[in-house]
C-alpha cells in the first residue's frame, strides 16, 4: 500500500512481508546451508551410491558430483534454487572442501547464496557387486537353439545366440542389465546368471515380445530364510535356427 515502508531500510514501493522487504529479509535469514561434514558412500565397482539401507544409481560416476551434494543442502522454505555452481577449494585423500554459489529466487527477487560443504568419500562394495563376486544368483536364463534336429555347428550357434542376447540387452532397462552376474558358455548355448529373479523374468518377457519365444520356467529349492523357502528359477529360451531361403530367395526370418 502507498505510504508503507520497510521497517529495516525505510524503502517504499516494495512488496513487504511483516513490514520487511525481500532485500532486507534475505539478509536476516539463511537462504541455503549445509552440514559441517557430509559423507557419500560409493561402490568402487559399479558406482552405486548408498542411500540409507538401499543402493542406487549403479553405473554412475565414481567421483562425487553435484547430484551427490544436493541431498545435503538445507533450503529456506521460501527459496527456490535455479542452479548451483560448485568449486573445490581444497582436498585430501578422501575429503574435499567445496564452495557452492547458488542462484536462487527469494520472495520474487533473484539472489546469489554461498554455501560451504566438506565431503568425505567412503568406498564400500554394494550388495549386487558383493553377490556377483561370490557367484551368488537367484535365477538363470538358458539360451539355447531350437528343438528341431539341426546340423548347425557349435560356433555358428554361439554366434547366433550371442547376437540375439546382445540385442536383448540393448533394449533392456539398466537395472535388468545390472542384475546379470556372469555368463557361462556351454556346448549347447549359454547360461546367464542373475542376482535378481524379477530382472531375469523381465528379460525373458522381452524376448517373448521381441522374438516370439516362449520361456519355459522351472524352480528348485536351495534354502530357507526367515522361515520361508528360497527358490532358484531357471528360464529356458529356445531360438530356432532360421529356415533356409526358398526357390525365390525368400525364407522365414527368425532370430
Question: DSSP string covering 176-212, please?
Answer: HHHTEEEEEEETTEEEEEES-HHHHHHHHHHHHHHH-
Same domain, 142 and 75: no
Residue 7 placed within a domain: no
Same domain, 218 and 165: yes
pLDDT of residue 123: 92
Same domain, 66 and 150: no
What is the C-alpha separation between 75 and 155, in angstroms, rounded?
60
Rounded to an integer, the average pLDDT of 163-184 is 93
More confident call, 193 vs 175: 193
Split at pLDDT 50, 70, 90, the class of 251 is: very low
Residue 167 placed within a domain: yes
Percent of the chain with pLDDT over 70: 87
Are 45 and 126 contacting, i.e. CB atoms less than 8 angstroms apart? yes
Split at pLDDT 50, 70, 90, the class of 25 is: confident
**Burial category of 251 from C-beta neighbours within 10 Å (exposed 0-12, middle 13-18, buried 19 and up):** exposed
Residue 74 placed within a domain: yes
pLDDT of residue 249: 47
Sign for the pseudo-dihedral over CA of 147, 150, 154, 159:
negative
Same domain, 221 and 164: yes
Count of domains forming the chain: 2
Percent of the chain with pLDDT over 90: 45
Same domain, 101 and 198: no
Residue 254 placed within a domain: no
Split at pLDDT 50, 70, 90, the class of 161 is: very high
Residue 141 placed within a domain: yes
Residue 79 pLDDT > 60, yes or no?
A: yes
Radius of gyration over every alpha carbon of the chain, rounded to an integer in angstroms: 29
Domain extent, residue 185, equals 135-239
Same domain, 30 and 121: yes
Checking 90-96 for CB contacts under 8 A at 24+ apart, the result is 94/120, 94/121, 94/122, 95/119, 95/120, 95/121, 96/64, 96/121
Same domain, 150 and 221: yes
What is the C-alpha separation between 194 and 212, in angstroms, rounded?
22
Query: 0.85 exceeded by the pTM?
Result: no
Sign for the pseudo-dihedral over CA of 137, 143, 147, 152:
negative
* Rounded (10°) angle between helices 154-170 and 197-211: 100
Residue 104 placed within a domain: yes
CA distances from 236 to 113, 119, 171, 205, 229 (A): 58, 47, 19, 12, 22
Same domain, 141 and 122: no
pLDDT of residue 42: 94
**3-class SS of residue 31:** coil
Amino acid at each position: 500500500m502507498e505510504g508503507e515502508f520497510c521497517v529495516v531500510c525505510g524503502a517504499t514501493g516494495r512488496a513487504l512481508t511483516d513490514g520487511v522487504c525481500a532485500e532486507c529479509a534475505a539478509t536476516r535469514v539463511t537462504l541455503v546451508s549445509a552440514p559441517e561434514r557430509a559423507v557419500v558412500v560409493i561402490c568402487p565397482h559399479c558406482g552405486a551410491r548408498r542411500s540409507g539401507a538401499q543402493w542406487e544409481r549403479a553405473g554412475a560416476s565414481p567421483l562425487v558430483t553435484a547430484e551427490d551434494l544436493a541431498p545435503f543442502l538445507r533450503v529456506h522454505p521460501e527459496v527456490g534454487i535455479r542452479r548451483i555452481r560448485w568449486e573445490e577449494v581444497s582436498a585430501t585423500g578422501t575429503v574435499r572442501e567445496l564452495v557452492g554459489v547458488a542462484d536462487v529466487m527469494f520472495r520474487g527477487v533473484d539472489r546469489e547464496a554461498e554455501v560451504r560443504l566438506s565431503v568425505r568419500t567412503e568406498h564400500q562394495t554394494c550388495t549386487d557387486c558383493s553377490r556377483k563376486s561370490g557367484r551368488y544368483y537367484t535365477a538363470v536364463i538358458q539360451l539355447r537353439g531350437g528343438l528341431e534336429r539341426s546340423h548347425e555347428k557349435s560356433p555358428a550357434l554361439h554366434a547366433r545366440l550371442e547376437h540375439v542376447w546382445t540385442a536383448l540387452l540393448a533394449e533392456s532397462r539398466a537395472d535388468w542389465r545390472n542384475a546379470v552376474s556372469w555368463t557361462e558358455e556351454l556346448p549347447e548355448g549359454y547360461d546367464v546368471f542373475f542376482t535378481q529373479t524379477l530382472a531375469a523374468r523381465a528379460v525373458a518377457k522381452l524376448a517373448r515380445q521381441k522374438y516370439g519365444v516362449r520361456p519355459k520356467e522351472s524352480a528348485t529349492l536351495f534354502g530357507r530364510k526367515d522361515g520361508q523357502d528360497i527358490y532358484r528359477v531357471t528360464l529356458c529360451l529356445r531360438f530356432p535356427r532360421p529356415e533356409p531361403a526358398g526357390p525365390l530367395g525368400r525364407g522365414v526370418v527368425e532370430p
